[in-house]
Each structure stands twice: as structure tokens, then as C-alpha cells.
Amino acid sequence: MPNPTRLRAAALTATALVLSVLLAGCGGGSQEDDEDLTAQKLDWKDCPAPSEAEGGGAAPSPLPDGDQWQCATMKAPLDWGNPKGDTIGLALIRARASGAADRRIGSLVFNFGGPGGSGVTTLPAFGQDYAKLRTRYDLVSFDPRGVGRSDPVECLDDKQLDAYFQQDATPDDQAERTELVDNTQEFNAACEKHSKEILPRVRTTDAARDMDLMRQVLGDEKLHYFGISYGTELGGVYAHLFPEHVGRAVFDAVVDPTQTAEQSSLGQAKGFQLALDNFAEDCVSKTEDCPVGDTAEDVKARIARLLKQLDREPIPGVFPRELTETAATGGIAQALYSKDFWEYLTEGLQQAYDGDGRVLMVLSDALNGRNEDGEYSNITAANVAINCADDKPRYDSAYVQGKLPEFRDASKVFGDYLAWSMLSCTDWPVAGAADHPDVSAPGAPPILVIGNTGDPATPYEGAGRMVDALGKGVGVELTYKGQGHGAYDSKNRCVQDAVHGYLLDGRVPAAKTVCS
């Protein structure tokens, strides 16, 4: 089963997992009874190469001005219900502010999404994109608990994951349904076996409390924050728990905080189908012939036929693995996270129609956190663990079968894939916390909430619902009429000017601003 939860991973996170980037070491331990974790001093050092759990690769290159990325480990309570008990080490990374010291505002903390993405690898991979913000902030990110080097959740090993992702995630008969359920149970049992202690302690509320400790350790009176994708949910939960500590905050690619896991999966089926529609329209609208279809409907029909053929007979992928229907669907989804990837989707489809599945499999590998050496980051394990710790509903095979018509109406390509993903938390060893997160934040300052009309993974409507849920006078909505997951990284001038104006100068844009 591919990325066995909802396709929440931010495009930046998924892409960073296949780039050469970095990370810091960490470790846990016990806490002295009189130790004040808010007073701890971080030992910042040059960053080592990332661990396998972070995605592997090389240590981060120096910043354009020659400064080095710095890494450290922050101690936090393993169990926030027992803050004087054992501790966990959380891996952090920073780039010091590049501007004059008297213009420095503080730290700007990033979470790039997932859940399960390593912020310590993602921030330097895209650090240059935030160069203007660095003029007044130290740029900071971290591996949330259960992720990367922050006591990573461990489930299956690399060889087992290769086999796991080759399984059929869209079963057609009882034998395939039984196999899918068995595989899910095996995955979940492996998580419990290898990570039993951390599984109950990776809820978003735990990560939010970690961020407030981080704020204090970094020496900031307020938490200035940039959350992307799942990072908007984490930011909303933080604002709910600590409204008085919220500084200047931006939410981009916004998770709908009002939805259950089922509603989120259905929304993503619609969102990815919309993105596929837009891809097809874009391809046939170019002056030259579209190489994967004569009309938009033809493009989509050919993709649907390809997936059915792959279900019957996979084609060669990245040796020795084959491109299955499941892997192809995941690869297509990965390419829809950014318009910059559409050319690779076209290339991958052309090759697949000729019996070569390599490009689509590489895209699928990026979604699943697999690097070219065959090593997996722990993004899948962490993604499942955090979602299942957060989400209360549990669904069984019979329930999913009853929902298939609704999901297929939403998307012929992604409907089955996302419907069956609802089994991920079945038999999970930890109870889910709630139907959906509480992000109400009365008394918090303005939070800039950016929705992208073409976003596949966090559909546009979620931004308005986040604004409503934050409460009157808190959320300020900005709409970007564009494609891909998120808006700031599109480099749209209007969006970036609004973000820079708020984060750097405190200017809140007018509510309902539209950028295109």
C-alpha cells in the first residue's frame, strides 16, 4: 500500500527527501528533578549528513553568503503529562539572520508538513527561497518527535518496505482485500514492536508543546511561525493552546481543521482529480501537440486505461522492481504537487505507454521517501503514527467498500486509492485523540491563511474553514489562483509581497485579498 495514509506530505517535504541535504544528531535521557528545560543552552554546531531516517544524502552546503547551517539538539519531555520524567532529543537546524543585528526580529520556525517530514533536511534544501525572510529572522526548523532523528518511529526495514509498496492498494476481490488488510496489520504490528514507547507521544498537541518550549529555549517572547500543509494544522493547534504566545504567523497550503479522516481523504480525491484535470487542460492547450492525448478527456482516459492495464500486468520500473498500478498512481500524485513537475509527468506517461515505468516509479519513490540507494526515510512510519495518534475514527474493509461509489464519483483515478487508505489506522495500537483538531484561538494576533485554488493535497476550501475555526479577528484569508501544493513557493509576486509585508514589517494584508 503506498504512503499508507492520506496524501498529506507537502511537496517541499517529499521533494527534499530525494535531494542531497542534512541533519543534526539527537538523543534522549532522563531529567534531573530540578532541571528547567526552558533554561537549557543549545550546543549549535556545523550540521552532519542526514541519517537514513531523514532521507540520507550529504551535509548541507554553505549558505550563499558563506555562513554554515547549524544544528543542535533540544531536550523535551518524552511525556508532556509527566514533564519532569524522561526526555526526548529533538533535532533542530538554523541559519542565523543575515541582516543588521538591530533589525533582527527573532526566530522564524518552519514546519513543512507531512506529518512526518524532516524539517532539518527540508529547510536547507529550499533555504534560498526564504533569503528575504532571513534578513530579519534566524530561520529555524526541526524534526518533530517521531521524525528523522527525533526518536524516529520505526516499522518495516528497507527490504520489507520495497515489498510493501509493491502490494495492491486498490483491491478488486476478496482475496486482494484480505491481503491488503493483512499487510496493514503487519505494518502496524511492526510499528508497535519497534516503537511502542513513542507511539502514544507523537500527537500534534505534543509537537505544539515542543514548539512552545523551543520558543523559550530560542529566547523568543513570541513564536513567529511559517507552517505549510500539515504545518498549518500544527500551527492552528499551537495557537489554540498558546494564543498569547503567537507572534507573526503564516499558514500556507491549509489543512481543513473541521474534517474527519474520511472527509479529508474524500477531499483529496477531489483535489487530486482537479489537479489532474488542470494538467490535462494545460497539456492540450499548448501550441504543439500534447504527447499523451488529443483532448483533455483523452489524456485522462488514457491514464485510467494505463492503471487498469498495470493492475493486470505491471511493467518494468526501477530494476528489479516493477511499476504496478499502485506505484503509478502514487507517481502521478507526486507529480501533481507542483506545476514544475508536470513535464516529468508527461515524460513518465509517455514512457509508461511504451512499456517503461522508470520515471513514474522514481516519482512514486519520492512520495514514499525512498532514495536512489534503496533506503527509506521514516516519513511513512511517522506519517501513519502521527495521523493515527491524532485521528479518532477507525474504519474497516466493509465500511470502505460501502464508500467506494462516493470516492469513485470524486475521482476515477484516485478514488479507490484514497478510499482504501482509510484502513491505515485499523488495529493501530494507540487510540486516536479526536475527530478533528481544535484550532480555536481567541485572543491570538492575526494569522495570515493562504489558500491555493488548484491545490491537490489541501483543497482550497480548507483555508476558509481554518479562518472560521481560528475565530473572529484571528485568521486573515488570502487566495492564490494557481496550481500546486502551496502558494509562497510558487514565487508569485503578489503572494510573496503579502507574506514579506506581514512577517518582516507587520503589515496585515486586507482580508479576502486575491493573487493570480
**Cis preceding-peptide flag for 124 (omega within 30 of 0):** no
Amino acid letter, residue 171: P
Say if CB 409 and CB 429 are below 8 A apart.
no
35 C-beta neighbours (distance < 10 Å), count: 13
DSSP one-letter code for 95: E
d(CA 234, CA 250): 12
100 C-beta neighbours (distance < 10 Å), count: 9
Helices 325-335, 296-312: inter-axial angle, 10-degree rounding: 150
Q: Look at residues 471, 468, 473, 434 and name the one whose alpha carbon lies nearest to residue 451.
A: 468
Q: Which residues contact 128 (CB under 8 A, 6 or more apart)?
A: 64
Instruction: From residue 124, give the alpha-carbon distance in Å to each of 16, 64, 141.
Output: 9, 11, 9
Residues marked active site are found at 229, 455, 485
Say if CB 454 and CB 280 are below 8 A apart.
no
115 C-beta neighbours (distance < 10 Å), count: 31
Q: 329-359: buried (b, 16+ CB within 10 Å) or exposed (e) per residue?
A: bbbbbbbbbbbebbebbbbbbebbbeebbbb
